[in-house]
Chain A
Amino acid sequence: MKIKHLILLVLLLIISCNNETEDDYINLPIKLEVPSNFPPLAYNLANNPPTEKGFELGKKLFYEGRLSSDGIVSCGFCHEQSSAFTHHGHTFSHGVDNNIGTRNAPPIQNMAFQTTFMWDGTAQNLDLQPIIPFTSPIEMNGDFSNALAMMAADPVYVKLFKQAFADGKINSENMLKALGQFQALMISSNSRFDKYRRNEAGGTLTQEELDGYSIFNQKCASCHATDIFTDNSFRNNGLSINPNINDIGRYRFTQLEQDKYKFKVPSLRNIEKTAPYMHDGRLFTLDAVLDHYSNGVVNSVTLDPILNNNGTLGIPLTNAEKTKIIAFLYTLTDNQYLTDKRFSEY
């Protein structure tokens, strides 16, 4: 055999034996930076270290309508970025087949710093939380088996799963971990308030806003604590019972009498954008919220003790104080988060 042919053969062998294709696992870690003004991370990064491809897969899943039984309702359908991932203007959301729920879609932001998920805390692990809306018959009505088959038949997903996970498998574990990586990295920490807290440029608060922050710390921060603005607890904040729904809140999970009508203290970040408010979206404005706390608290067996001062219900607030608090709450709007292309659908 001529040398030329031999060389060609060898070259061909080298090329064909080269196993590196663009379908291989790509280990490009994404470092999750904890903002200096935040409480410690609650999410266990070691179990699910974020990578670029894991994040990319997670985002694709977040906006994937085909996960639902009608091919339309994705996570992003009820969790819209411009509204801090709430369902803009909706008290309740409509899922597949126009099914309506009984609770307001909460924002998705800083979930890696929280320990319980859903209004009644029925999920305690961020990676498993998506199971609830995904499989709920009134939300996405999804089936893991069908979803995984859909993805196994889609070359884009096949490639992404291989790039995102060393075992490359399209299974429920990897699907949930990808979503977990995406959600864990959705951090809102660059509002004007944050910059003020970290002494960064653009972090100037007006006197009114500073006064509002001061009043907030005295009258609201016991429940809406830390720079995440929640203490992750479940409380009855004195909302009257809606007889049509009679939502007993956390009781459903614990079946403890003391948990009736208690709901998770929500984070107040981006509150300017997340109306309507409360677990059932019954209050449309922040004025209505503060009016509720000053005048609208209803007593009950499980009313949070903080809202009952020897018979005086609620939180005393003057109109001037309310104006200042609302001015302060607007400083929690994080436009960078609301427009961050990394989390965007398009």
Chain B
Amino acid sequence: MKFQLKKITAVMAMALALVVTSCSKDDPADETPTGTGTLKLEFDNVYGSADFAFGTNYTNSHGEVITPSSIKYIVSNVVLTKADGSTFTYPKSDSYFIVDEATATSQIISLPNIPAGDYKTVKFGIGVDQAQWALGATGQGNFLTAAQTAGMMWSWTAGYKFLAFEGTFTSATVTTAAQYKIHTGQTGTDYNYSDVTLALPANALVRTTITPQIHILTDLKKIMDGTHKVSLSTAATIMGGSQLAQITTNFPSMFSVAHVHND
């Protein structure tokens, strides 16, 4: 009798132990991940429904055939939102990057020291924000140097080009290939910074052991053919004035998320 009781108790204890331990095993939905990890943002330039490449002829909505030779833009102020609604703002002075089609390594932005968690939204800005501009040199670190080296400094306004898109084009009225340059940035009338918020099709799982990569598509067609449509034949050098504000309104819709890798 005693022996059997002991046995039963032992079995029950073991079973209980099993249940307890199995219930406390890693259940991603229940357990809060700890530590930090790295998150990567990949900016993949496309044009409409095709991959983007220099030297390719693209036709815009005005029937102008453009052959791009350079596209660069400043990505900044990354803010990540977790599945539970809380946000993580990447340290401001480290959150300025230049994405350059001509430099493969610049197209994947690596953000270390992100608190582990499941992220559902990524937000970033195109350009250098007004709050940073108001601080002057403070907080910029060496970004001005990086910008000048990358050709993204706007010397004449003591500031930055937020987006620079260049190439040549022809049209019904411009039959010999002519140069086009679109440079956005702060002007005397508009600041021209834009925020982009993207919901992720699948959560980005940042862990000490997982480095998710968010594959973002940047549709360059939208630069000239967003809600505002640019006509290069009217003006091929666009570096100021009210049209910059109009072109800037095209930016948020340029970006979409293709997918999220969690590995």
Contact = CB atoms under 8 A, between A and B. Distances in A.
Contacts of A259: 188
A46 to B, nearest CB: 9
B137 A177 contact: yes
B138 A177 contact: yes
Interface string A107-151: 000000000000001110111111110011000000111001000
Contacts of B187: 253-255
A134 to B, nearest CB: 8
A293 B9 CA distance: 108
B141 interface: yes
Nearest to B188: A254
Interface string B182-201: 00000111000000000000
Interface string A234-267: 0000000000000000101111100100000000
Interface stretch (B66-74, B115-123, B150-158, B170-178): B150-158
B149 interface: yes
Nearest to B135: A47
Interface string A307-334: 0000000000000000000000000000
Interface string B125-156: 00000000111111111111100110001011
Given A44-B136, A135-B153, A173 B142 contact: yes
Nearest to B189: A254
Contacts of B159: 128, 131
A176 B145 CA distance: 11
Contacts, number: 101
B241 interface: yes
Contacts of A252: 156, 240
B154 to A, nearest CB: 9
A256 B242 CA distance: 9
Contacts of B135: 47
Contacts of A48: 136-138
A61 to B, nearest CB: 13
A123 B242 CA distance: 19
A121 B186 CA distance: 13
A123 B188 CA distance: 10
Given A145-B148, A255-B240, A123 B158 contact: yes
In the A-B complex, the 10 residue pairs with the smallest Cβ-Cβ separation, listed nearest first, are: A254-B188, A127-B136, A255-B241, A253-B188, A176-B137, A171-B142, A144-B145, A172-B144, A125-B136, A127-B137
Interface of B: 133-145, 148-149, 153, 155-159, 187-189, 240-242
18 contacts: A47-B136, A122-B158, A125-B158, A129-B158, A131-B144, A132-B155, A136-B156, A145-B145, A148-B142, A169-B142, A171-B142, A172-B137, A172-B143, A173-B139, A176-B144, A177-B136, A177-B138, A255-B187
